[in-house]
Chain A
Amino acid sequence: NAGVTQTPKFQVLKTGQSMTLLCAQDMNHEYMYWYRQDPGMGLRLIHYSVGEGTTAKGEVPDGYNVSRLKKQNFLLGLESAAPSQTSVYFCASSYRTSGVGTQYFGPGTRLLVL
């Protein structure tokens, strides 16, 4: 039981490049989330999903897209990376149908955009 895994762990991009971050969970959770964490700020929700095939915008969605084609996977895409997207990205999943439940976090992806 691996819990929540994220790939890659580290990434360096040049401005304008694109990439996809993969989140996978093996706990059969319905809810999945993408957050970003920046120095001096709390975690902020980028996008979330309440089930396979559904996604919704969070607090800071601009510049990101997501897809949830399979229940266990939640992908975060950056179409044209910008230095402002330099951050640590965390994926999480939750087991309660209302979304109010313990969230299990992945180890994070450190992204540097030059």
Chain B
Amino acid sequence: KNEVEQSPQNLTAQEGEFITINCSYSVGISALHWLQQHPGGGIVSLFMLSSGKKKHGRLIATINIQEKHSSLHITASHPRDSAVYICAVNGRHRGSTLGRLYFGRGTQLTVWP
């Protein structure tokens, strides 16, 4: 079983729709990351959060530490949002200064005009 589970695996939406991608994790964490991977392959970091909520433009990320769950929301979706969205967590790594990242398998989002 993967330490980080994302749902759904694939998501199709019409332009303008509100989108939610979910992430659940089973390890103790120091932080949770949302990443975006475009069709060309490049990966960029969208958010790093350890509590509460962060907003950047039309993107909102929330985390509930007690429930070990995070959501990524996209408001007013646009075709340029089409990408793979990846959830990753920094595990608490006993005896090491590196909080290794555990990655989810990603959610493929396609937004149609």
Which residues from chain A sit less than 8 Å from chain B, CB to CB?
A: 31, 33, 40-45, 48, 50, 56, 58-59, 88, 90, 92, 97-105, 107-108, 110
- CB pair B41–A50 under 8 Å, yes or no, is no
- CB pair B97–A102 under 8 Å, yes or no, is no
B43 within 8 A of A: yes
- CB pair B41–A103 under 8 Å, yes or no, is no
- CB pair A58–B100 under 8 Å, yes or no, is yes
| Interface size class of chain B, counting residues whose CB lies under 8 Å from the partner chain | 20 to 34
Interface of B is mostly: strand
Task: Tell which of A33, A43, A44 touches B86, judged by Cβ atoms closer than 8 Å.
Answer: A43
Which residues from chain B sit less than 8 Å from chain A, CB to CB?
A: 2, 4, 30-31, 33, 35, 41-45, 48, 86, 88, 90, 97-106
Chain A hits for B102, CB < 8 A = 42
Number of A-B contacts (CB under 8 A): 63
- CB pair B98–A105 under 8 Å, yes or no, is no
Given A42-B2, A58-B100, A100-B31, also A105-B44 (CB < 8 A)? yes
- CB pair B99–A99 under 8 Å, yes or no, is yes
- CB pair B104–A102 under 8 Å, yes or no, is no
- CB pair B30–A98 under 8 Å, yes or no, is yes
Output the residue of A41, A44, A103, A104 with the most chain B CB within 10 A. Answer: A103
- CB pair B105–A105 under 8 Å, yes or no, is no
Task: Output the nearest chain A residue to B93 by Cβ-Cβ distance.
Answer: A99
Q: How far is the CA of A88 from the CA of B105 in the complex (A)?
A: 14
Chain A hits for B2, CB < 8 A = 42
Chain B hits for A31, CB < 8 A = 98
Task: Tell which of B30, B33, B97, B106 touches A103, judged by Cβ atoms closer than 8 Å.
Answer: B33
Chain A hits for B31, CB < 8 A = 100
Chain A hits for B106, CB < 8 A = 42
- CB pair A45–B42 under 8 Å, yes or no, is no
Q: How far is the CA of A43 from the CA of B105 in the complex (A)?
A: 8
- CB pair A88–B103 under 8 Å, yes or no, is no
